[in-house]
Amino acid sequence: MPSDESYFGALERVIEHVVAPGAGEVDATGGFPRGQVDALAAAGLLALTVPADFGGAGAGLREAATVVRELGAVCGSTAMIVTMHYAATAALAAAGAKDPLTEIAAGRHLSTLAFSESGSRSHFWAPLGTAVDDGDDSVRLDASKSWVTSAGQADSYVWSSLPLAAPGPMTLWLVPSGADGLTVAGAFDGLGLRGNASAPMTAAGVRVPRGAMIGDDGAGLDLAMAAVLPVFLICSAAMSAGLLRRLAEETAAHLQRTHLRHLGQSLAQQVQPRAQLARLRIEADRTWALVEQTLDAVETGRADAQLLVLEVKAAAAEAAADAADLALRACGGSAFRKESPVERLFRDSRAARVMAPTTEALHDFIGRALCGLPLLGDVT
Ligand SMILES: Cc1cc2nc3c(=O)[nH]c(=O)nc-3n(C[C@H](O)[C@H](O)[C@H](O)COP(=O)(O)OP(=O)(O)OC[C@H]3O[C@@H](n4cnc5c(N)ncnc54)[C@H](O)[C@@H]3O)c2cc1C
């Protein structure tokens, strides 16, 4: 594991010199933050969670969550891209996929998840895309993916399909970016996270070698639930925690610098905005505390680890959306205009709750877990 200095210091430098200065433009243009991603790769931060055996830093989920929290405070698009990269890396690490892991470790490779489909929508556990034996050790993939972060920008896609031959709901594949028949099927023009390139993608007769299978045929959902989901859920929550912290900072700064001249007072001297700021800060601290609690539970193998992993994104996503509303109230009309960073944070804050598993799906999973029912009903 890298020392705090080696990864956190590098992260702070990339944020200060590249990510923070570019965040406004990424949002305004919707352009993919290529320079930001390249700088993170060059600083070893895309290799952070690659096991040391494959040349990576061998860091864990706590370091990944910290990186995403810090990015989430300055550029939601970059934080989203890195979240999906860490989630994809977790699948590759669980399967010991040497070639892509070695490339990621060398800072030459960005990956992402291509799970959600046009047919089954947010129900990522039920892919409809197919994998068919094409002879000569080749497999043909066909699918319509509805959202893929870093679409057309990533070097590879951790791709879900129906199994090739085995029973089970899902098989995972590593699909390289240049594969024939793989296309980005539209532009991404979103409310928030505008530079994360979450566009639809289509596979029409994409051929991959059988060795591109990640894990076993039919075992993709187990791998996704055990290895990918904890990384995605905790990093998504950490991203919301970063956004919440920034909302509190921006709101405090606005209240202090904004004056009601006729009263000779600042907004900070008004009781309501001050109380709204207090509630914002409570949500920010509460959210990060839950992320840390979840990390503790996962790292020590506590019995409540799975429950906390399911809770943490639902709690953080809803806290971020509610707190962004509060920040908009506390800062008033000023935050309704693009002159305030709160306006962008408000738009970015809407994404986490609709990302699968959505808040509604997580509430159902948590209720099922508490009632001793299988998380996915009859799917598994
Ligand atoms: C910024 C962004 C980036 C993304 N990046 C990726 C990515 O990299 N890879 C990827 O695979 N996907 C990605 N997604 C897709 C995401 O994970 C979801 O699949 C997608 O947002 C779901 O949208 P939808 O319109 O298909 O939802 P729908 O499935 O149509 O759901 C609409 C609403 O109905 C609710 N709902 C649906 N079914 C039920 C049910 N059974 N019970 C209760 N409520 C239900 C949902 O919670 C939701 O609120 C991304 C999404 C966003 C917003």
Ligand 1 atom nearest to 192, measured from its CA: 1
101 half-sphere exposure, CB direction, 13 A CA radius: 23
A 10 A CB-CB count for 198 gives 23
User: Which run of H or E residues covers position 145?
Assistant: strand 138-148
- Which of 336, 306, 8, 351 has the alpha carbon at shortest distance from 198? 351
Question: Residue 302 corresponds to which amino acid?
Answer: R
**How many Å lie between the centroid of ligand 1 and the Cα of residue 83?**
16
**How many Å lie between the centroid of ligand 1 and the Cα of residue 115?**
10
Query: Residue 32 has which token pair?
Result: 């993919």
For residue 111, what pLDDT is reported? 98
For residue 3, what pLDDT is reported? 53
**DSSP-assigned letter for residue 331:** H
Ligand 1 atom nearest to 358, measured from its CA: 47
Identify the three-state secondary structure at position 202: strand
Ligand 1 is surrounded, with C-beta below 6 A, by 80, 84, 112-116, 121-122, 124, 146-149, 193, 196, 198, 351, 354-356, 358, 360-361, 364
Give the chain's residues under pLDDT 50. 1-2, 379-380
**How many Å lie between the centroid of ligand 1 and the Cα of residue 232?**
14
**Closest residue (by CA) to atom 52 of ligand 1?**
355
Give how far Cα 44 sits from Cα of 127, 167, 259, 335, 367, Å: 33, 39, 44, 36, 39
Mutate to test the pocket of ligand 1, among 124, 349, 355 (most ligand atoms within 8 A of CB): 355
**DSSP-assigned letter for residue 205:** E
Specify the residue for token string 């305004």: 28
For residue 339, what pLDDT is reported? 84
Identify the three-state secondary structure at position 377: coil
**Closest residue (by CA) to atom 1 of ligand 1?**
351
Across 104-138, b (16+ Cβ under 10 Å) vs e yields bbbbebbbbbbbbbeebebbbbbbebebeeeeeee
Peptide bond into 374 cis (omega under 30): no
Mean pLDDT of the chain: 96
Query: Residue 68 has which token pair?
Result: 């995403």
**How many Å lie between the centroid of ligand 1 and the Cα of residue 362?**
12
**How many Å lie between the centroid of ligand 1 and the Cα of residue 19?**
27
**Closest residue (by CA) to atom 27 of ligand 1?**
122
**How many Å lie between the centroid of ligand 1 and the Cα of residue 353?**
9
Instruction: List pLDDT tens digits, range 97-111.
Output: 999 999 999 999 999
